[in-house]
A and B are shown apart, each in its own frame.
Chain A
Amino acid sequence: MHTSTALGLAKKALENRGKQPSADATAALSLRMKISDLNFYYGAKQALFGIDLGVATNRITSLIGPSGCGKSTLLRTLNRLHETLRQARLEGEILLDGEDILSLDVTDLRRRVGMVFQKPNPFPKSVFDNVAYGLRINGCKGGLREAVERSLTRAALWDEVKDQLHKSAYALSGGQQQRLCIARALAVDPEVILLDEPCSALDPVNTAKIEELLFQLKENCTIVIVTHNMQQAARVSDFTAFLLNGQLVEFKPTPQLFTTPADPRTEAYITGRFG
């Protein structure tokens, strides 16, 4: 827009008054997932202690904390991926839209709660088959082409691969592979997407692309992201949870947590004085 006077511009500003991220606690928003008194054990060793957390619908919630604090462990309980480990044991309640996820069929849960991993992990198949994989194993036969195109578009990858759908996924660059993994997760139309340090293997440009992608995705999708890069959490998320030694130390709207944290441990971590 080209408004040549300050007054004119200011008038326009009144019309488009921007909204700051909500300063209300998650209690005022609807919760897609709710974690209550979660305790998690690897064999005899306890890894998570009494976690209470609400994941707000269509918002980005980030989990931050030093290595080994349990943030990835917590993330993996949300789609019951911890069950692939023999010794893992979970106590407490995790609700998805009010239903206990432990009572749901696990394959159905994992369709509704998708996951993107730290290192891009496309299957040794073509780009098309990667995205269609989730649809095929969930029994979807028809309309694959449209669904694949839709997912790749949502993942901001369609333009780059539309002529190469039948090439191997390994021919793509790292950033493209990660967006392919996001498209693959999106294909089954999940309600929640879990991202475990999705940008840690990527360079800053690809990281920025994926962060912008997350902003677009959150309109229709609830996002939980684990990141060891707290600046990323600051840039991207609406709510941030700080974990330390398996405990949830503080959970607040992101602007508040990064400007006026209540707990001195949070402050120490955020200001880089930790350890």
Chain B
Amino acid sequence: MERHFERYLEEAKDRLLWMGSLAERAVHQAVRAVLEADEAPAQTVLEEEHVLNELQIEIDDRVVQLLALQQLMAADLRFVLTVARINNDLERIGDQAVNIAQSALRIVRHPRVKPYVDLPRMSELAEEMVRDSLNAVVRRDIELARSVLTRDDQVDQLRDQIFRELLTYMMGDSSLVFPAFELILVAKNLERVGDHATNIAEDVIYMVAGHDVRHPAVDRR
């Protein structure tokens, strides 16, 4: 039997996915601003930050109402809790994008430190992780979610690589310190984006299968 609250669940999901697409786009634009030394996309990201924040509040409102008014059980309950968690992660992803955009604006006048090789790869990976984790929400796809989890290590490795490389450059030429430092920050932000995407993937597994796969070291007996 179709129930009326299913409509509300669908609406919450739609709003969440909309927020996800905006967050994804923000990261992409912010990284473009860095890689192409272009101010315009960075400005767009900063201008659109408030949209993401408003969405977070709206989605939390919906979650509270769903919990208070509909006595959700089982899959529906896990779904709503997942929405609340993913909501937070998306907002943080938005914050990371803002940070990246601000870094971009700060170094836009500076000459390029080095040819960008790892940074584009890292951003592509991070953006892919975000996209796939959100697709896993849509398709309720555990395998896709698990694949996101495995890629987190790669992102971490790339970050370490970029750190080491830029450190070398900074030690070699002190005029490069400022832009290189900003690039290190960008890498850190991208790594955080990857972490948030991982969180989203873990939430999807909980939503679909009911297994909490966070912190495998914790004894769950």
Contacts and interface: CB of A to CB of B under 8 A. Distances in A.
Asked if the two chains touch in their complex, CB atoms less than 8 Å apart, one says: yes
B103 to A, nearest CB: 26
A5 B11 CA distance: 17
Given A3-B138, A6-B135, A18 B21 contact: no
A234 B65 CA distance: 10
Nearest to A215: B4
Interface-central residue, B8, B69, B135, by most chain A CB under 10 Å: B69
B52 interface: no
B14 A9 contact: yes
A6 B134 CA distance: 6
A48 to B, nearest CB: 27
B18 A14 contact: yes
B74 to A, nearest CB: 15
Contacts, number: 70
Interface residues of B, number: 29
A234 B64 contact: no
Contacts of A258: 68-69
A219 B70 CA distance: 21
B26 to A, nearest CB: 13
Given A10-B20, A12-B14, A259 B137 contact: no
B192 to A, nearest CB: 20
20 contacts: A4-B139, A5-B135, A6-B17, A6-B20, A6-B21, A6-B134, A6-B137, A10-B14, A10-B17, A10-B20, A11-B21, A18-B8, A18-B11, A20-B65, A212-B3, A234-B71, A235-B4, A255-B68, A259-B64, A259-B65
Given A7-B21, A13-B18, A14-B18, 5 more contacts: A5-B135, A5-B138, A6-B135, A10-B14, A259-B68
